[in-house]
Amino acid sequence: MVKYISKRLLYMIVSLLIIITATFFLMRIAPGNPFTSEKKLPPEIEANLNEHYGLDKPWYVQYGDYLVRIVQWDFGPSFKYESRTVNDLINDGFPVSLTLGLEAILFAVAVGIVLGVIAALRHNKWQDYTAMIIAVFGISVPSFIMATFLQYIFAIKLGLFPVARWETFSHTVLPALALGATPMAFIARLTRSSMLEVLSNDYIKTAKAKGLSRGAMIMKHTIRNALLPVVSYMGPLAAGIITGSFVIEKIFGIPGLGSHFVLSISNRDYTVIMGVTVFYSILLLVSILLVDIAYGLIDPRIKLAGGKKGE
Amino acid sequence: MQQISKEKFQIVGVKASDAEKISKPSLSFWKDVFIRFRKNKLAMFGIVLLIILVFMAIFGPYMTKFDYASNDLMNTNKPPSSTHWFGTDDLGRDMFARTWQGARISLFIGIMAALIDFFIGVAWGGIAGYKGGRVDEIMMRIADILYGVPYLLLVILLMVVLGANLTTMIIAMTITGWINMARIVRGEVLSLKNQEYVLAARTLGASVSRIMGRHLIPNAMGSILVTMTLTIPSAIFTESFLSFLGLGLTPPLASWGTMANDGLASIQYYPWRLFFPAVLIALTIFAFNVIGDGLRDALDPRLRNKE
Amino acid sequence: MKKSKLSLLLVLSLVLSMFLAACSGGKDNADGDKGKTDSKKKVSQELRLNIKTEPFSLHPGLANDSTSGGVIRQIYEGLTRIDKDGKPQPAAAEDIKVSDDLKTYTFKLRDAKWSNGDPVIAEDFVYAWQWAVDPANQSQYAYQLYYVKNGQAINEGKAKPETLGVKALDDKTLEVTLENPTPYFLELTAFYTYSPVNSKIAKANKDWYKDAGDQYTSNGPFKMVQWEHSSKIVLEKNENYWDADTVKLTKISMDMINDNNTELNMFKNGELDWAGMPLGQLPQDLLPQLKKDGSLHTQPIAGVYWYKFNTEKPPLNNVNIRKALAYAINRKAIVENVTQGGQIPAMAAVPPSMIKENEQGYFKDNDAAKAKEFLAAGLKDLGLSDASKLPTITLSYNTDEGHQKIAQAIQDMWKKELGINVKLENEEWKVYISKLHNGDYQVGRMGWLGDFNDPINFLELFRDKKGGNNDTNWENPKFKQLLIDSQTESDPAKRLQMLKDAEAIFMDEMPVAPIYFYTNTWVQDENLKDVVISGLGDVQFKWAHFE
């Protein structure tokens, strides 16, 4: 296991390097720069700015500088927010996005799995259909429409929650629901379908025949095995959710990290683009590693580490 | 021990030729699936719904005298009426014509995305999962890298390099769309490939493609179909996002995604502008979901004798 | 099976009815609010508004965007301040003398204090201006100070910051020497780049402006007491302000919520006292409703929305074709049905707040007959028989729903009136700007907001073909000469006439088709009075109060 994980860490570093390199070049090839604006800057001012930020140096020098900085975990100043560094932005924004993201994931996983299990156990009964309707609703309504809906109904019409801002727990409820709705629906569907597959397996029939109680049977045998696709889906999704969602943050006025992913690109805020991409990629790669480790725990037959070269 | 005399038995009639005869007509796998699918009323309802949607997408725009593109600035944001069946939008364009015009694009995009998902995602995830080891490692790391690079940046560059057209849009949608599917299929295959029947097939010398096609993919079909049904709405909305960025559709062309997007802002005052595209998207997803469920049930070899 | 179908139907209808309930009933809500606003009866003088985003910088020398400007304007004070009537009045200065050649200004500073009690001295101005033009400090707005002698040379690194034409004769006297006579210089001194900086603090701590706290001092009506980055800024009344008696508001809280609908919803829910411009924005789709229920405020501002023609790309290199396109636009229909914010149709380049006659403009709006004449002439020039033979015209705009709607409306008008086929092309903002600045377009939308209250601001964009903001590749020697001469003309009436003559040339050659003059649109708590929005669209809360 240790050997496997250390090998994976090596792969992770290579992947990260490729992501950083690709992002760096994509970002530099994209038309425009941090100083492009409606009112064009006089050329001498632009030249001066480029010099100050080292944008006039050859690309390989800049690229090398970035790599060194990333290793030092110092992403440099933001171009768009003069008083802020990229590290500031991440340090301030991530805790907010993480809180919101965890709430959303908790909601999505808890409700999604329960709905999915019920639907599978009551296959083609009304419970199944109800769960499906809820899931179809969740899947076909994307988060930005869901957010507007929730805000309109629960904040404006009913006044149960605040419209926006990030202060107390009640400020987090609507955004978390909006963020979690689609994953919830999808998890419900995935759980249902894999539960159905597992339920018809022989060992379940054996367990039934052995007179195992229904509850014990569901817990012990089916859910665990049915979770596999959910885990495959949730891993990378979790990395995305805890680093924030642009639309949800925008609609609910939440000072999270998500908005930086989009705005840094439209602002060509080079340092922020690199910073948030590196940060997100690390989380993504780690969560994918965790998924693979989780596979082994869920289904002991899966052996990733073992030498499969013979095949 | 009592002796049983031979006389107690009677030959009912066995001829050598009868040995080859099968009492029930033989059904191929797919024919069997089809028959079981047809029995599923909900799934058939989904099919009918989908046929209606496709029919309206083809003929709907011609059913009204209004053109989907023509502005009428004197009649903006009119609620549904006998002239404008679905009302008008913010430039006074007929929503009925636009909705069905948009259906063409959104249905095309949705189905296209689902197919791409299926072919690329399933193959990629299947091979990675089945081969395992270094192949798996490299294939999945490629997927991670594509997932890690900022999508918006990719889209902007694609547009600059290839120009804004339908091909570029499909590339933009394909570039990361299949990754979820690949991950899920890989996970399933990793688990399934160690099952006894796969081992048996392998021992018997079945080829990789046969093991994949006959054993692994059908058993992962449930998750695959669910993932595909999720792809459709996400593709419909990705399209509206791309259109908004200037990639793909150029106005006055419409799609359900862009219409829903436009309608959202004015939901408090002109609800019909969101209502029609949103409900149609939901109906489409519903249709695909029940069809998916029906297919899943029909395909599941273990559910075969349950009915 | 039957039972399950029934319940399916039930659930479906439940979901649908929820959806419908959510959709309908917008109206009673709009009515409901008015009661809410009336009954509020605020005695508290606390103003809550939205500024959308984190400001770029709250250093007056670095700020270069409307958000930063909107905050700085409340907490800083320049030598002059634009008053309620839009005229610059002495502010930090109490007396201003101008030399006969219009090149030397002597400001006598009044006894004023920084928010921490330090006196405001002439050195604070000298320090601030020198700092802003010093290339080492990377101010993107350094060029706002190019009017001051040596400003540009210093910023280009050709002279030392100490050589800037600003001198502290004593603690209370400031002498400013200009590069050229600048008739609108007192407008400029009200602009935030010309604000002073507390030199005592700034010299000791170069990061003084990055957070709220005792290091951040200002000399305006309000002071900043809290700055939660990307979330909220809180201002309080500055008791040390020289004119503190006038200031009634005790607190201004500024949220950073970057969504127009949310902003309006918060206003309706009583969580904000102001929604919309100039610091926020209202959702365009809802303007007609807000207008209908009487809550919408609009005010023209000095800005113009226009379509630039690339005068080197056929067929737009033909002046008749350009004119045909410009004349065929029905601006009234656009402002009334598309933008809907009370904008004024523009048939001129300079806003009416600067040249009154421009309310009428240089041609008739929606003049289809004239447009067809020009089209015929243009086609003849090009030797074409029919409009359909023209090369396809591509109309570009940056990604935004508002621009897209206008473009679609105009596309339809050109098609219907002139039979010209137009292809729309939208692009991500920075890609778009780069293309426009590089001349890689045919027709492109652009806007221009005045930096200061003078027509030259709108005309000098087009002085040089390769000027940074011209984009049209158009140039005219007569036009250019008139602008240059106007800079040295000391008689305001004669100078204005020169600028009008220049504008006439411009409108005759039509390198741009003006569409409309901007307005600010907002809704506000009706008990809030005396908020001053200048002709440039800047807001000041110095005089504001709740009744």
Q: How many structural domains is chain A composed of?
A: 1
What is the band of C23 on the pLDDT scale with cuts at 50, 70, 90? very low
Of the listed ranges A167-176, A202-211, C60-69, C406-415, the least confidently predicted one is A202-211
Closest approach of A73 to chain C, Cα-based (Å): 21
CA atoms within 13 A on the CB side of C171: 8
What is the band of C446 on the pLDDT scale with cuts at 50, 70, 90? very high
Cα–Cα distance for residue pair C221/C473, rounded to 1 Å: 45
Residue C237, beta-bridge partner list: C222
Mean pLDDT of C58-66: 92
Cα–Cα distance for residue pair B293/B41, rounded to 1 Å: 11
Name all contacts of B57-65 with Cβ < 8 Å and 24+ positions apart: B57/B100, B57/B103, B57/B104, B57/B107, B58/B104, B59/B100, B60/B96, B60/B97, B60/B99, B60/B100, B60/B101, B60/B103, B61/B97, B61/B100, B61/B101, B63/B96, B63/B100, B64/B94, B64/B96, B64/B97
Per residue in B171-224, pLDDT (tens digit) is 888 888 899 899 989 988 888 888 777 888 888 888 888 888 877 888 888 888
DSSP C96-116: EEE-TTS-EEEEEEPS-B-TT
Q: Out of A126-135, B62-71, C39-48, C510-519, give the one with best mean pLDDT.
A: C510-519
Residues from chain A that touch C205, judged by Cβ atoms under 8 A, are none
Closest approach of C219 to chain A, Cα-based (Å): 20
For the cut 70, the answer to whether the pLDDT of residue C154 exceeds it is: yes
Q: Which residues contact B195 (CB under 8 A, 6 or more apart)?
A: A301
What is the band of B20 on the pLDDT scale with cuts at 50, 70, 90? low
Chains in contact with B, where contact requires at least 3 CB pairs less than 8 Å apart: A, C
Q: What is the pLDDT of residue C18?
A: 47
Whether residue C409 and residue B41 make contact (CB cut-off 8 A), yes or no, is: no
Q: What is the pLDDT of residue A297?
A: 83
Of C218, C207, C216, whose CA–CA distance to C74 is shortest?
Answer: C218
- Burial-class residue B83 by CB neighbours within 10 Å (0-12, 13-18, 19+): middle
- Whether the CB-CB separation of C435 and C399 falls below 8 Å is answered with no
Tell me, what CATH number does A165's domain have?
1.10.3720.10
Cα–Cα distance for residue pair C113/C29, rounded to 1 Å: 47
Instruction: Using a CB–CB cutoff of 8 Å, tell me whether B52 touches chain C.
Output: no
Mean pLDDT of C241-266: 93
Per residue in C343-356, pLDDT (tens digit) is 999 999 999 988 98
Closest approach of B207 to chain A, Cα-based (Å): 12
Give me the domain span that covers residue A92.
Answer: 1-311
Of the listed ranges A219-228, C139-148, C260-269, C503-512, the least confidently predicted one is A219-228
Neighbouring C-beta atoms of residue A163, cutoff 10 Å: 28
Distances (CA, A) of C24 to A154, B83, B92, B147, C20: 15, 21, 21, 40, 6
Residues from chain B that touch C29, judged by Cβ atoms under 8 A, are 268
Instruction: Using a CB–CB cutoff of 8 Å, tell me whether C433 touches chain A.
Output: yes
Q: What is the pLDDT of residue A307?
A: 42
Mean pLDDT of B101-108: 90
What is the band of B278 on the pLDDT scale with cuts at 50, 70, 90? confident
**Which is more confidently placed, C130 or B190?**
C130
- Burial-class residue A42 by CB neighbours within 10 Å (0-12, 13-18, 19+): middle
Instruction: Using a CB–CB cutoff of 8 Å, tell me whether B199 touches chain A.
Output: no
Sign of CA dihedral C384, C386, C392, C396: positive
- Whether the CB-CB separation of C543 and C530 falls below 8 Å is answered with yes
Per residue in A251-304, pLDDT (tens digit) is 999 999 999 998 999 899 999 999 999 999 999 999 999 988 888 888 777 766
- The predicted complex's ipTM stands at 0.87
Whether residue B230 and residue A142 make contact (CB cut-off 8 A), yes or no, is: no
Residues from chain A that touch B190, judged by Cβ atoms under 8 A, are 295, 299, 302, 304
Sign of CA dihedral C186, C190, C192, C195: positive
pTM of the model: 0.87
Instruction: Using a CB–CB cutoff of 8 Å, tell me whether B293 touches chain A.
Output: yes
In this structure, what token pair is assigned to residue C178?
């200009």
Q: What is the pLDDT of residue C411?
A: 93
Whether residue A277 and residue B149 make contact (CB cut-off 8 A), yes or no, is: yes
For the cut 50, the answer to whether the pLDDT of residue B12 exceeds it is: yes
C139-148 as b/e: b if 16+ CB within 10 A: bbbbbbbbbb
Residues from chain B that touch A291, judged by Cβ atoms under 8 A, are 183, 187
Residue of A7, A123, A139 to mutate for B, most B C-beta atoms under 10 A = A139
What is the band of A306 on the pLDDT scale with cuts at 50, 70, 90? very low
For the cut 60, the answer to whether the pLDDT of residue B47 exceeds it is: yes
For the cut 60, the answer to whether the pLDDT of residue C14 exceeds it is: no
- Whether the CB-CB separation of A287 and A238 falls below 8 Å is answered with yes
Residue B24 has phi, psi (to 5 degrees) of -95, 140
Closest approach of B270 to chain C, Cα-based (Å): 8
What is the band of B27 on the pLDDT scale with cuts at 50, 70, 90? low
Residues from chain A that touch B160, judged by Cβ atoms under 8 A, are 29-31
Per residue in C473-532, pLDDT (tens digit) is 999 999 999 998 988 887 888 999 999 999 999 999 999 999 999 999 999 999 999 999
Strand segments (E) across C114-240: 166-170, 173-177, 222-228, 232-237
Q: What is the pLDDT of residue C35?
A: 40
Distances (CA, A) of A246 to A76, A143, A169, C258: 23, 10, 20, 11
- Tell me the helices (H) and strands (E) count for chain A, helix number first: 13, 0
Nearest chain A residue (CA) to B282: A140
- Whether the CB-CB separation of B140 and B186 falls below 8 Å is answered with yes
Per residue in B144-153, pLDDT (tens digit) is 999 899 998 9
Whether residue C405 and residue B90 make contact (CB cut-off 8 A), yes or no, is: yes
Query: SS3 of C25, please?
Result: coil
Could you write out the three-class secondary structure of B102-150? HHHHHHHHHHHHHHHHHHHHHHHHHHHHHHCHHHHHHHHHHHHHHHHCC
Residue of C12, C208, C399, C430 to mutate for A, most A C-beta atoms under 10 A = C430
Closest approach of C247 to chain A, Cα-based (Å): 28
Mean pLDDT of C289-306: 92
In this structure, what token pair is assigned to residue C458?
């709108």
Q: Whats the size of chain C, residue-wise?
A: 547
Closest approach of C390 to chain A, Cα-based (Å): 30
End-to-end Cα, chain B, rounded Å: 44
Smallest Cβ–Cβ distance between A19 and the set B148, B289, B296 belongs to B148
Whether residue C262 and residue A31 make contact (CB cut-off 8 A), yes or no, is: no
Whether residue C337 and residue B269 make contact (CB cut-off 8 A), yes or no, is: no
Residue of B136, B183, B234 to mutate for A, most A C-beta atoms under 10 A = B183
Cα–Cα distance for residue pair B1/B246, rounded to 1 Å: 91
